[in-house]
Amino acid sequence: MAWSIWIRQLHRWLSIAFTAGFLVNIYAMSGGQEPAFWVYLLVLVPLFLLLPTGLYMFVLPYAAKWRGRRGAA
């Protein structure tokens, strides 16, 4: 159960990092010049890390149901 709490907390912090990176990206693109490449990565890195944690939390209730049925049978 401790893993679930850690993954949920990690997902929350990654979502904050994604939002901050998105705002920085919008601010950088609002200027007249083309922003540096690393500005785009500020959004992509947390986004790619949000995918597995989000999928884990999505599957968690279904896995609990599956385990419950197997244990009862």
Burial class, 12, CB count within 10 angstroms (exposed 0-12 / middle 13-18 / buried 19+): exposed
Contact 14, 50 (CB under 8 A): yes
Token pair belonging to 58: 């999505």
What letter represents residue 70's amino acid?
A: R
* pLDDT, tens digit, 9 for 90 and up, residues 10-53: 999 999 999 999 999 999 888 888 888 888 888 999 999 999 99
- The pTM assigned to this predicted structure is 0.77
Name the nearest CA neighbour of 42 among 52, 55, 29.
29
Residue with tokens 């599956």: 66
Return the number of other C-beta atoms located less than 10 Å from residue 21's C-beta: 19
